[in-house]
Amino acid sequence: MSRTALPISVSPRAIKILQKAVKQRTLEKHYAERMEIILLSNLKKRNMDIASHLKIVVDTVVKWKKRWRNNEEKLLKLEYSYEGKQVTDNDLLKEYKNILSDFPRSGSPGHLTEVDIALLQALACESPEKYGLPVAVWTHELLSGQAKKKGITISPAHYGRILKKMN
């Protein structure tokens, strides 16, 4: 026996904002996919059809429709006023992204402090020759090893992610 998908409601203004956002080249892929789910759901498409069209699993469609449905009342209130002021489309888009964002993941918090990160970034800006290494350019592995000598344990991959955020 199949279940019937619960409908969601999307205001005309929200449809316009979501459609415009999905067309932007700068929108992250996960937001575009989730916004497409909302837009297709509003057209009364079945969950299976949406999943097939977007090449995702049905559980993903159900998850984001449920998240939207749980926030519908809040979105309608926000759409019409915020502290007596007209809410801009950008403010609404930020709220849509907030609703369509992943929840924080469980697990232990990071062990690096802001001071550690600053030291790691400073190390990457220095020359490897200063540390007696016979290379002209750092690798993540060399940086990780040098950081360990300074008392900061970090994997080469994580070091790379920190450096990527620098740019």
85 and 149 housed in the same domain: no
62 and 138 housed in the same domain: no
pLDDT at 2 > cutoff 70: no
Tokens encoding 69: 């449905």
Angle between helices 114-125 and 140-149 (to 10 degrees): 120
Q: Is the pTM of this model over 0.75?
A: no
Provide the pLDDT confidence category of residue 60 given band limits of 50, 70 and 90: very high
29 and 83 housed in the same domain: yes
Q: Can you give the residue range of the structural domain that contains 146?
A: 114-161
Q: What is the pLDDT of residue 83?
A: 60
109 in any annotated domain: no
User: Average per-residue pLDDT in the chain?
Assistant: 91
Buried/exposed 28-62: b ≥16 CB within 10 Å, e otherwise: eeebbbbbbbbbbbbeebebeebbeebebeeebbb
pLDDT at 56 > cutoff 70: yes
In which element (H, E) is residue 48 found? helix 47-54
Total number of domains constituting the chain: 2
83 and 157 housed in the same domain: no
94 and 131 housed in the same domain: no
19 and 86 housed in the same domain: yes
77 and 144 housed in the same domain: no
Contact between residue 143 and residue 109 where contact means Cβ atoms under 8 Å apart: no
